[in-house]
Amino acid sequence: MPASVSTLTWVWHWMPHPIYQHMSARNILPPHKRHGPELAMHDIRPETDSTLTLRSVNWEHGMLLTPEHFLRQERYLESLVSWGVRYLTPGYGLIGGGIRLPETDLGTSRFDPEVALHETAEALDISVSRVRGISPSGIVIDLDAVGSISTRFNKEELAGVAEAVVYVVSNPSERLKTDGAADSFNPQMRTERVPSFRIALDVTAAELQQSVAVARIRRPATGMMFEADPQFIPSCITLAAHSELMSGARRIVESINRLASAYAELHRAMREFMVIFTERGLETEVDRDSIQFAERMVLELQNTAYDLLDRTQPPDRFFSRVRRMLHSAAIFFDIATGMQQYYDTLRETGESEFLGLLELQKHMLQQGRTIKLDANLAIEIKKSLQSLLNLEKLELALEGKYIDFRKSTAIESANFIFDRGGKVLYRLAARPARVQGIADEMTIFFSNLRLEGRDRYRLILVGDRNKPWLRGITIGAEIRINEGSGFRRESLILSGEAKLDEQFNIEIDFEAPDVPTITDLRVTVPSYHTVHTALLFTRHRFYAGNRESPEARGIDRTDLPREPAMVAATAAPVESYRRAAPIPANHRKSVTPIQPLADDAIDVQPPWMPRDSMPNSSEVNERPRRRRLE
Same domain for 221 and 264 = no
Residue 35 has what DSSP assignment?
A: -
Q: Which residues contact 301 (CB under 8 A, 6 or more apart)?
A: 256, 259, 260, 263, 325
User: Does the pLDDT of residue 243 top 90, yes or no?
Assistant: yes
Residue 72 resides in a domain: yes
pLDDT band at 157 (very low <50, low <70, confident <90, very high): confident
The whole domain housing 461 covers 411-540
> What are the DSSP calls for 242-263, one per residue?
-HHHHHHHHHHHHHHHHHHHHH
Nearest to 186 by CA among 19, 4, 28: 28
Same domain for 393 and 252 = yes
pLDDT score at 254? 95
> What are the DSSP calls for 387-422, one per residue?
HHHHHHHHHHHHHHHHS-TTS-S-GGG-SEEE-TTS
Structure-model confidence comparison of residues 4 and 507, the more confident one: 507
User: Does the pLDDT of residue 29 top 70, yes or no?
Assistant: no
Task: Tell me what the mean pLDDT of segment 31-37 comes to.
Answer: 38
Q: Look up residue 242 and give its amino acid.
A: H
Indicate the range of 147-156, 200-209, 302-311, 571-580 predicted with least confidence.
571-580
Task: Tell me what the mean pLDDT of segment 104-117 comes to.
Answer: 91
Greatest mean pLDDT among 28-32, 164-168, 364-368, 454-458 lies in: 164-168
User: Does the pLDDT of residue 388 top 50, yes or no?
Assistant: yes
User: Does the pLDDT of residue 452 top 50, yes or no?
Assistant: yes
Q: How far is CA 617 from CA 133, 565, 620, 621, in A?
A: 102, 12, 5, 6
Measured between its terminal Cα atoms, the distance across the chain in Å is: 116
Structure-model confidence comparison of residues 80 and 594, the more confident one: 80
Please state, as a whole number, how many other Cβ atoms lie within 10 Å of the Cβ of residue 215. Answer: 23
> What are the DSSP calls for 128-182, one per residue?
EES-EEE-TT--EEETTTT-EEEEEEETTTTTT--EEEEEEEEEEEEEEEE--S-
User: Does the pLDDT of residue 51 top 60, yes or no?
Assistant: yes
Same domain for 317 and 230 = no
Please state, as a whole number, how many other Cβ atoms lie within 10 Å of the Cβ of residue 135. Answer: 23
Contact 328, 291 (CB under 8 A): no
Nearest to 252 by CA among 371, 387, 374: 387
Same domain for 277 and 226 = no
pLDDT score at 312? 92
Residue 35 resides in a domain: yes
Contact 91, 237 (CB under 8 A): yes
φ/ψ of 415, rounded to 5, equals -95, -5
Residue 389 has what DSSP assignment?
A: H
User: Across the beta sheet with 211-218, what order do the strands follow?
Assistant: 192-200, 163-178, 211-218, 227-228
Same domain for 415 and 393 = no
How far is 104 from 106, CA to CA, in rounded Å? 6
How far is 547 from 545, CA to CA, in rounded Å? 6
Rg (CA), the chain: 42
How far is 428 from 420, CA to CA, in rounded Å? 17
Same domain for 522 and 440 = yes
Residue range 53-62, pLDDT digits in tens = 888 899 998 8
Q: Which of 189, 222, 241 is the last residue of a domain?
A: 241
Indicate the range of 187-191, 346-350, 479-483 predicted with least confidence.
346-350
pLDDT score at 113? 93
Indicate the range of 21-35, 165-179, 603-617 predicted with least confidence.
21-35
How far is 197 from 167, CA to CA, in rounded Å? 10
Residue 27 resides in a domain: yes
Q: Look up residue 506 and give its amino acid.
A: I
Give the percent of the chain with pLDDT over 90.
31
Task: Tell me what the mean pLDDT of segment 190-213 comes to.
Answer: 90
How far is 106 from 310, CA to CA, in rounded Å? 11
Alpha helix (H) residue ranges in 50-92: 67-88
Same domain for 232 and 110 = yes
Same domain for 299 and 232 = no
The structural domain count of the chain equals 4
Task: Tell me what the mean pLDDT of segment 16-33 comes to.
Answer: 37
Q: Look up residue 105 and give its amino acid.
A: D
Same domain for 491 and 451 = yes
Structure-model confidence comparison of residues 379 and 469, the more confident one: 379
Q: Which of 241, 273, 300 is the last residue of a domain?
A: 241
How far is 518 from 451, CA to CA, in rounded Å? 5
List the CATH number of the domain containing 261: 1.20.1260
What stretch of H or E contains 587? Answer: helix 585-589
Alpha-carbon torsion, ordered 121, 126, 127, 133, to 10 deg: 170
Residue 149 resides in a domain: yes
Nearest to 257 by CA among 318, 302, 214: 302
Same domain for 320 and 460 = no
pLDDT score at 229? 92
Residue 174 resides in a domain: yes
Same domain for 229 and 113 = yes
Q: Look up residue 235 and give its amino acid.
A: S
Residue range 273-298, pLDDT digits in tens = 777 667 666 556 767 888 889 999 99
pLDDT score at 591? 46
How far is 286 from 620, CA to CA, in rounded Å? 52
pLDDT band at 84 (very low <50, low <70, confident <90, very high): confident
Structure-model confidence comparison of residues 555 and 386, the more confident one: 386
Long-range Cβ contacts of 43-46 (<8 Å, 24+ apart): 43/176, 43/177, 44/174, 44/175, 44/176, 44/196, 45/71, 45/174, 45/175, 45/193, 46/173, 46/174
How far is 351 from 416, CA to CA, in rounded Å? 9
List the CATH number of the domain containing 433: 2.60.120
How far is 352 from 342, CA to CA, in rounded Å? 13
User: Does the pLDDT of residue 249 top 90, yes or no?
Assistant: yes
Q: Which residues contact 296 (CB under 8 A, 6 or more apart)?
A: 328, 332
pLDDT score at 623? 53
Structure-model confidence comparison of residues 220 and 624, the more confident one: 220
Residue range 565-600, pLDDT digits in tens = 444 444 444 444 444 455 554 444 444 454 554 444
Same domain for 394 and 287 = yes
Mean pLDDT, the chain, integer:
78
